[in-house]
Structure 1
């Protein structure tokens, strides 16, 4: 075990803290850590990320459920289309992408580079969601949920999560706020359960396609789980909104860095 793995495991704690504090952003950190610090191949890193974020989010979700901050009805509404889509994406779509996606006389686009470029775009999209303040929707018991819109959003989240190994919390929380009229604190807890379900089912789609280093993966995941307990504790004394904005700027810079690193 080299120094870079120890650094990666220390940063895995930060992945968990982020999930515990703001209910999203874990995979936005875990994939770059796995690829650029620990040295995991990008497609395999997205699989690892699904397991890490799924397991960590489950522990975080259980903590929120104990505080009665999870709407399980909405977990099912978003979770069912999301889980189905992410499994299909990991089981069928991702393995079907060729190693050389596109080739020209002066440039060859490899699958690993495409994965990181799409991931960087997702990071930039996520940063916008984090930087821009989200106003809570006014919750009215008479409001009817738009099930078609929720289903469509669930499929979209599943495609994103499946391809880049992201939990999709940055998409799920706004959807819970505006489509499902969920209060912010409840949205964070509910998001953790959705992220957990879709990520772990997505990881199952990778089994048989990838060779898993379980020793590395379980240590990284354990460190992340420690972080989520820390994040849950800090969420009681620290404003998540301010941290989310700062984290959003960091994610934006990371996205730009990844694009420049992969293309230059």
Structure 2
């Protein structure tokens, strides 16, 4: 079950650059009986390992925009630690409830992103930049907005254990006009750093963790990332993304019902 959960996390990250940890956190809470804070901390470690594989795959094909990524990382790696401190002040029940509401937002965003990708597939050029040089030339006035966006993504990562890609990907497209492929690759780089920072903060607070659990999840995540990245590169991932969005939505609704009963 843990290996399958890891594969789901990596697959979603590989396909969309977002959404993987929304599977991990509720499944770790429900299936493994972990407290919310432990589930979010371990999820960050799994997301980081999966994102690292994705970054390596995309770096070889030039699907990373480093300048926007650095602006997002600059603020996000600070606020992720702030978010973890805030999470300690929120009662476990409320934290679970807020996370599941966020998961529903992510599911809706993934559904809409699948539609956007379908439009891009029909109009592959459009008005979107296809290289990092084009991206870097076109966003000089939006650097401050990227810093703010990175801070918000880091805050979400720290509080809820999510990578923040569901927010980073559309923000990159909106502010820089980069295409979906580069936005996903750049998002994975940001997610890698933010998740590693958050996981390090979790280890500092809870040095005694279940490493076997993490290794199983991370192994599945790496395998899922390879699968998701290959699918995104060679196949139309719209249907798969919609299936993942529906799965996240149903899992979130089921978990919300369980909390309320």
TM range (shorter): 0.7 to 0.9
SS in 2 for 1:59: helix
Match of 1:249 in 2: 246
Q: Is the contact made by 1:88 and 1:205 (CA closer than 8 Å) also made in structure 2?
A: no
Q: Is the contact made by 2:107 and 2:246 (CA closer than 8 Å) also made in structure 1?
A: yes
Alpha carbons of structure 1 residues 51 and 143: separation in structure 2 relative to 1, 3 Å: closer
Is 1:262 aligned to 2:247, yes or no?
Answer: no
* Post-superposition offset of 1:143: 5.0
Match of 1:63 in 2: 57
* Post-superposition offset of 1:171: 0.4
Match of 1:153 in 2: 149
Match of 2:188 in 1: 192
Match of 2:15 in 1: 21
Q: Provide the TM-score with structure 1 as the length reference.
A: 0.86
| Residue segments in structure 1 that go unaligned for 5+ positions in a row | 1-6, 102-110
* Post-superposition offset of 1:22: 1.7
* Post-superposition offset of 1:243: 2.1
Q: Distance in 1 between matches of 2:257 and 2:155?
A: 24
Q: Distance in 1 between matches of 2:182 and 2:56?
A: 13
Q: Provide the TM-score with structure 2 as the length reference.
A: 0.87
Q: Is the contact made by 1:161 and 1:167 (CA closer than 8 Å) also made in structure 2?
A: yes
Q: Is the contact made by 2:138 and 2:176 (CA closer than 8 Å) also made in structure 1?
A: no
SS in 1 for 2:234: coil
* Post-superposition offset of 1:39: 2.0
Match of 1:217 in 2: 214
- The alignment's C-alpha RMSD in Å is 1.8
Match of 1:8 in 2: 2
* Post-superposition offset of 1:11: 2.4
- Pick one of 88, 91, 100 that aligns with 1:120: 100
* Post-superposition offset of 1:18: 1.5
CA deviation vs aligned residue, 1:81-108 (integer Å, no higher than 9, x gap):
1111102222x3233x1xxx6xxxxxxx
SS in 1 for 2:202: coil
SS in 1 for 2:176: coil
